[in-house]
A and B are shown apart, each in its own frame.
Chain A
Amino acid sequence: SQQGEEDPQALSIQEGENATMNCSYKTSINNLQWYRQNSGRGLVHLILIRSNEREKHSGRLRVTLDTSKKSSSLLITASRAADTASYFCATRGNQFYFGTGTSLTVIP
């Protein structure tokens, strides 16, 4: 299976702290994407990083990709209570595969 696995499964931090989530996958990819999902809602695309890129920034988000280790990380800096959600990585090879997700809770 090409499905990504994320860790931690759950993360709880204080507002203002940074949150780091990791994603590992199994086969070669064209790109990797991160999505956010609020409880019971659809997914929102956050950021895409291509296989030839190593790092990408978008606002308070920083994504890294290490294709040799088949892993990616999502860093949310200066977290806010509104960042509370589940975060999924998705790999794009021949198809899309979603990771297992990290549930982030930011405590005000």
Chain B
Amino acid sequence: GAVVSQHPSWVICKSGTSVKIECRSLDFQATTMFWYRQFPKQSLMLMATSNEGSKATYEQGVEKDKFLINHASLTLSTLTVTSAHPEDSSFYICSVAGSSGRVRSTDTQYFGPGTRLTVL
């Protein structure tokens, strides 16, 4: 499967600051990446679908101006949590869809290890 990395793995920040989380696909070109949020002991909630070279598609209820997504290349997507508040504290996970080589199938997702955000 695909190898996906996220950076940082854990970030603690003060309320009001912005935090950028990177998601990289290491061994193939991903035209589509997904961003999820997971609260403790809960399932993953899709936040947005990130498409290379175009605007992200956000799920209902997710604020576009608060969660900025940039998918500037086929191997990198970033999620910026702007003016973070304690309620934004969560586990953020990205994933890429498809198999090695150029993505053709979106049947299977490969997940990054996640980024734990703690906002004080």
Are A42 and B114 within 8 A (Cβ)? yes
Task: Name the interface residues of B13-48: CB closer than 8 Å to any CB of A.
Answer: 34, 36, 41-46
Also in contact, A42 and B46, with CB within 8 A (given A31-B107, A33-B108): no
B110 CB contact (under 8 Å) in A41, A45, A92, A95: A45
Collect the chain A residues with CB atoms within 8 Å of residue B91's CB.
Answer: 40
**Binding site of B, secondary structure by majority: helix, strand, loop or mixed?**
strand
Are B111 and A43 within 8 A (Cβ)? yes
Are B46 and A95 within 8 A (Cβ)? yes
Binds B, one of A12-20, A58-66, A71-79, A98-106: A98-106
Residues on B facing A (Cβ under 8 Å): 1, 4, 6, 34, 36, 41-46, 49, 91, 93, 95, 106-114, 116
- 3 closest Cβ contacts across the A-B interface? A43-B111, A42-B111, A42-B113
